[in-house]
Chain A
Amino acid sequence: MEFKFTEENIQKVEAVLKKYPEKKAAVMPVLYLAQDQNGYISGEVMKEVAFLCEMPEADVLGVVTFYTMYHKKPMGKYHIQVCTNVSCMLRGAYDIYGKVKDKLGIDNGGVTPDHQFSLEEVECMGSCGTAPMIAVNEDYFENLDVPSTLKILESLK
């Protein structure tokens, strides 16, 4: 399926390109815009981004696959990210992670069949002082325990 930016997003792309002396440098912000519009980065998305940033498609692929935050497949409506790094782990992150896995019935990288939830075990999110934490899409939820985490999941409909 061909991918084209919406009129509104094309203007955002134009604005982003102005921030850098070379078009190639805008690849990361343009990929973010594409992901926002399309939900994930498909081959067609990369083709369009490569065209806009005047770079080879292979280089776009190299960028996309390097970072964890560009999704290569459609994710759930709510993308649940559980930090299990040391500071969170010391305060019970693995209990939370285990319960979230049970509750959603999916493992790391999985998506529920109804595409409501996807799960990712993430590395340190910079919430060590308010550990443990989960992030739902772009929002942080901090100072959690198992009951409060389950409450958050239940509130997501």
Chain B
Amino acid sequence: MEKIVLPDIPNLHDIDAYLSNGGFKAYKKAVTQSPDDIIDQVKKSGLRGRGGAAFSAGLKWSFMPKGNDKPKYLCVNGDESEPGSFKDRQIFEYNPFQLIEGILITCYAIGAKTAYIYIRGEYHKWVNLMQKAVDTAYARGFAGEKMKETFGGEFFCDIFIHKGAGAYICGEESSLMNSIEGKRPYPRVKPPFPAQNGLWGNPTTINNVETITNVPAIINKGWEWFAAIGEPKHPGTILFGVSGHVNKPGVYELPSGTLLTDIIYKYAGGVPGDKKIKCVIPGGSSMPPLRGDQLEGVKMDAESLRAAGSAIGTGGIMVMDEDTDLVKVLARITKFYYHESCGQCTPCREGTGWMLKLLNRILRGEGSTKDVELLISVANNIEGNTVCALGEAAAWPVKFMVTRFRDEFEARVKSGISIDVRNKVHSMRKTVNPIAPLTLN
């Protein structure tokens, strides 16, 4: 099987190794064609975003307005903060020049003169590696004004790296743009979409690192070749990051549509101690978890996973064996979203806190049967009521974990506690005459 994003070529992070393996050939080929042709090819290739939403990359590019009356920008999203996903760092480390070449082709196609690579702040090492690659590209004439000498023609573009500072929300495209602009990075209300009103009010396209890294291969080998890999509706290879209870965790580049069970057992070496799988989150912590008995025959692409009741997300597969305490897992996931909620929208800011309180109460053994319903109710009131998708990201795991593993949660709560009375007691404790703590039955 051929690998596109992380090929098995040694020292590919070295520009000479990259050049001797056909580096920048795709860009040379691209500039002999019109930008519209490039967009058309990427559209036909069926390349879909690898950052979570799986939106058609070519279609996204085609939203960019034509003409040069305003500067245009490309943002490359390497914020990668979703728990369970750790694929972009592999690209920064092992194949940075293919990313740079992808950026050049994308900038040419959408008419952008400036590209910002947004890398999360914790990735100091990978920021430095990527900066080194960008500096090399500038020195060798593969970026900046020197591109005119290297490739001929009039087109050139600048590539800058913007380092984040530890905020998950900056992976959301409009929040990412606010972060680059130096504002407090609250997500923006859409519409207007970034293609109309992005960085500093100018047309902007935001793509994931992995998406962009696929582009040179599509131009080189043709869209027909790319469209024939994996599942026709979501073609190409995907970087699957497998973590949790598996023998060989790591990033595996496999064609889309690979069976989830194959990834876990064939590639990631199965579960330690041959234990049974209780739960798998197939696309990073915000995606609906699947029960162990739901995994058979599930293919890893956007459409198949949707049919199976989950979503592809970032392809971060988290495996949990039969001894895992799912209440604890869900409490930890919810703690993450509670911590990372930016605080702009009330349902998300307050709801994540409430869900965490409820889960902690269940963990302490003080939960009532009503708490299980209340969790789902709070999740339902967050979902769809927020500016950005963090609301859904926080609500989905709670909603689906509780529904799909109801017995786990019900075994931890007691029917004897009435939530209404407890609340009354709580409020009365704050009065001048506090009453004795309520004993549980």
Task: Find the B residue at minimum CB distance from A55.
Answer: B182
A32 touches B (CB below 8 Å): yes
How many residues of B sit at the interface, in one of the four size bands?
A: 35 or more
Please indicate the chain B residues that have their CB under 8 angstroms from the CB of A24 in the complex: 181-183
Q: In the complex, are the beta carbons of B200 and A87 less than 8 A apart? A: no
B65 touches A (CB below 8 Å): no
Please indicate the chain A residues that have their CB under 8 angstroms from the CB of B140 in the complex: none
The residue from A20, A90, A140 contacting B244, defined by CB atoms under 8 A apart:
A90
Task: Tell me the chain B residues, 313-364 only, with Cβ under 8 Å from chain A.
Answer: 316, 318, 320, 324, 328-329, 332-333, 336, 339-340, 342
Interface flags for B254-297 (1: CB within 8 Å of A; 0: not) read: 00000000000000000000000000010001000000000000
Given A66-B167, A126-B120, are A86 and B244 neighbors across the interface (CB < 8 Å)? yes
Q: How many Å from the CB of B255 to the closest CB on chain A?
A: 20
Task: Tell me the chain B residues, 57-97 only, with Cβ under 8 Å from chain A.
Answer: 71, 80-86, 88-89
Bound form: Cα–Cα A87–B342 in Å: 23
B174 touches A (CB below 8 Å): no
The residue from A21, A28, A131 contacting B249, defined by CB atoms under 8 A apart:
A131
Q: In the complex, are the beta carbons of B318 and A86 less than 8 A apart? A: yes
Given A19-B160, A63-B184, are A128 and B243 neighbors across the interface (CB < 8 Å)? yes
Q: In the complex, are the beta carbons of B125 and A53 less than 8 A apart? A: no
Q: In the complex, are the beta carbons of B184 and A62 less than 8 A apart? A: yes
Task: Tell me the chain B residues, 153-175 only, with Cβ under 8 Å from chain A.
Answer: 160, 162-168
Q: In the complex, are the beta carbons of B324 and A90 less than 8 A apart? A: yes
Q: In the complex, are the beta carbons of A22 and B181 less than 8 A apart? A: yes
Task: Find the A residue at minimum CB distance from B202.
Answer: A21
Bound form: Cα–Cα A85–B336 in Å: 8
The interface centre, meaning the residue of A24, A53, A68 with most chain B CB atoms within 10 A of its CB, is: A68
Q: In the complex, are the beta carbons of B179 and A89 less than 8 A apart? A: no
Given A70-B165, A125-B122, are A63 and B244 neighbors across the interface (CB < 8 Å)? no
Q: In the complex, are the beta carbons of B182 and A128 less than 8 A apart? A: no
Q: In the complex, are the beta carbons of A25 and B336 less than 8 A apart? A: no
A59 touches B (CB below 8 Å): yes
Q: In the complex, are the beta carbons of B163 and A32 less than 8 A apart? A: yes
Q: In the complex, are the beta carbons of A87 and B336 less than 8 A apart? A: no
A154 touches B (CB below 8 Å): no
Q: In the complex, are the beta carbons of A129 and B122 less than 8 A apart? A: no
Please indicate the chain B residues that have their CB under 8 angstroms from the CB of A124 in the complex: 81-84, 285, 336
Q: In the complex, are the beta carbons of B184 and A87 less than 8 A apart? A: no
B405 touches A (CB below 8 Å): no
Please indicate the chain B residues that have their CB under 8 angstroms from the CB of A26 in the complex: 182
Please indicate the chain A residues that have their CB under 8 angstroms from the CB of B339 in the complex: 123
Please indicate the chain A residues that have their CB under 8 angstroms from the CB of B122 in the complex: 69, 122, 125-126, 135
A144 touches B (CB below 8 Å): no
The residue from B88, B168, B244, B328 contacting A87, defined by CB atoms under 8 A apart:
B244
Please indicate the chain A residues that have their CB under 8 angstroms from the CB of B230 in the complex: none
Q: In the complex, are the beta carbons of A129 and B160 less than 8 A apart? A: no
The residue from B120, B125, B245 contacting A138, defined by CB atoms under 8 A apart:
B125
Q: In the complex, are the beta carbons of B83 and A86 less than 8 A apart? A: yes
B250 touches A (CB below 8 Å): yes
B35 touches A (CB below 8 Å): no
Q: List 21 A–B pairs whose Cβ atoms lie within 8 Å, in order of A's numbering.
A: A22-B181, A22-B200, A25-B180, A26-B182, A27-B182, A28-B162, A29-B162, A67-B166, A69-B122, A69-B166, A86-B281, A87-B244, A90-B320, A123-B168, A124-B81, A128-B83, A128-B243, A128-B318, A130-B249, A138-B125, A140-B125
| Residues of A participating in the B interface, judged by any CB pair closer than 8 Å | 19-22, 24-29, 31-32, 53, 55, 59, 62-63, 66-70, 84-87, 89-91, 122-131, 135, 138-140
